[in-house]
Amino acid sequence: MPSSTSRIVFIGSAALLSLLLGACGKDDDKKKNAPATPALTVTTARPSTASLPVKLGANGNVAAWQEAIVGSESGGLRLLEVRVNVGDVVRKGETLAVFSADTVNADVGQAKAALQEAQANAAEAAANARRGLALKSSGALSEQQVTQYLTAERTAAARVAAAKATLTQQQLRLQHTQVLAPDSGIISARNATVGAVVGVGTELFRLIRQGRLEWRAELPASDIGRVQPGARVRVKGANGSEVLGKVRTVAPTVDAQTRTTLVYVDLPPALSSNAPLKAGMFAGGEFELGASNALTVPQQAIAVRDGFSYVFRLNPDSRVSRVKIDTGRRLGERIEVVSGLAADTPIVIQGAGFLNDGDLVRNVPAPAAAPAKVATR
């Protein structure tokens, strides 16, 4: 039989346990009845409508607007001097290279002497013809002799004309010993070598006329109707800088293999070595096609998770619901919402990146926007 002392200790322990369990139950009831604590304090706003630019992206090659081939017009002459190199900017009529003119000078001298001889013979023939005509009426000369004098005069005059043509030809050869730039521009290639003896028509230089470049953008056939001549284009160079161009024309045909069309965009002249665009580059750009109204939200209101974009809608019970949206264009800190969101939906702006679906939040008014400053000149 347990002693009385043992029974008292047992009874005291049971009472203490009952008291402890009762206290824990009361704490649980208090927790259940306590109000929920908001997970985060946020600010909300509704989407707004803004005018966003409409752009069309494309890729293509940068090429010379027109490339002139400068060749030799004199054959069999030795190249004496080359005055320009690749990258040099030249003006129309500037001397690019010089051929040896010794042989041509000798031919010019010979042609001049031949012309003087022909002119002397022509003067003698003209004098004989005048005398023959003067003696014709006296009967001292027969009709046949007079005709011979007149024929000799015309023949001598023809020989003078031929000698003048020969002299002009040799003088042209002398001029062609200097290779002149057919237009202003920049030298893009050089094949001329000092000391070489070249034939007529041999290519010596290539010249980008007026330094003008063009961007040949490739567009799908479905987008041809969206681009019109005169549209502004921003072409991005290899160093990240943008160059503003203008659509000159759209090709009248579509490539049968790629089903794309070339759009020719005029670019500013590239007459310096540090120009952002050069012929032969592959560049991307955007056609500016005007503007259109769009539903936009601040960038900070969008939470990107698992590769998708979401916003958090504030419900009447102060809890948030995650809403999946599709985004589009961007203007500054605002992003277009293409689908998934109504215009009158209140969404979380500040704190959206820390929320989960169903969180309880405390909504506070957004700070008033500062009044826009009026620019003064």
Give 220 or 7, the one with higher predicted confidence: 220
pLDDT tens-digit map of 143-162: 788 788 789 889 999 999 99
Cβ neighbourhood burial of 205 (10 Å; 0-12, 13-18, 19+): buried
Q: Are residues 172 and 185 in the same domain?
A: no
CB 53 within 8 A of CB 167: no
Examine the domain organization and report whether 75 and 201 are in the same domain.
Answer: yes
- What is the pLDDT at residue 55? 87
216 and 285 assigned to the same domain: yes
Instruction: Based on the fold, state whether residues 89 and 206 are members of the same structural domain.
Output: yes
Reply yes or no on whether the pLDDT at 253 is more than 80. Answer: yes
Instruction: Give Cβ neighbours of residue 309 (< 8 Å, ≥ 6 apart).
Output: 302, 303, 324, 325, 326, 327
Closest by CA to 205, choosing from 77, 90, 100, 62, is 90
**For the domain that residue 304 is a member of, what is the CATH number?**
2.40.420.20
Q: What is the pLDDT of residues 57-69, one digit of tens each?
A: 999 999 999 999 9
Q: Which residue has the higher pLDDT, 169 or 26?
A: 169
- Of 210, 231, 257, the residue at which a domain comes to its end is 210
Predicted confidence (pLDDT) at residue 26 exceeds the cutoff of 60 = no
User: Dmax of the chain from CA atoms?
Assistant: 194
pLDDT of residue 22: 55
Q: CA distances (Å), 123 to each of 120, 131, 328, 330, in order?
A: 5, 13, 91, 89
Domain that holds residue 83: 71-100+177-210
Question: What was the pLDDT predicted at 246?
Answer: 94
For residue 140 the two structure tokens come to 């001292």
> In terms of domains, do 218 and 284 share one?
yes
What is the DSSP track for 225-277?
Answer: GG--TT-EEEEE-TTS-EEEEEEEEE-SS--TTT-EEEEEEE-----STT-S-
Count of domains in the chain? 4
pLDDT at residue number 68: 93
| Residue 10 clears pLDDT 50, i.e. is over it | no
- Report yes or no on 375 lying in a domain: no
What whole-number distance in Å separates Cα of residue 335 and Cα of residue 109?
80
Which backbone phi and psi does 261 adopt, to 5 degrees?
-125, 145
86 and 182 share a domain? yes
The Cα-based distances of 68 to 114, 168, 181, 201, 377 in angstroms read 38, 27, 9, 13, 47
Residue bearing the bigger pLDDT, 322 or 130:
322
- Mean pLDDT, the chain, whole residue set: 83
Provide the CATH number for the domain around residue 155: 1.10.287.470
Confidence tier at 4 by pLDDT (50, 70, 90)? very low
- Identify the CA nearest to 202 among candidates 105, 78, 81: 78
Closest CA to 172 of 96, 114, 118, 108: 108
Domain boundary among 245, 275, 291: 291
Output the pLDDT for position 234: 93
Q: What is the pLDDT of residue 367?
A: 60
Are 226 and 278 in a shared domain?
yes
d(CA 149, CA 155): 10
Domain boundary among 238, 258, 291: 291
Task: Kindly report, residue by residue over 157-184, the tens digit of the pLDDT.
Answer: 999 999 999 999 999 999 999 999 999 9
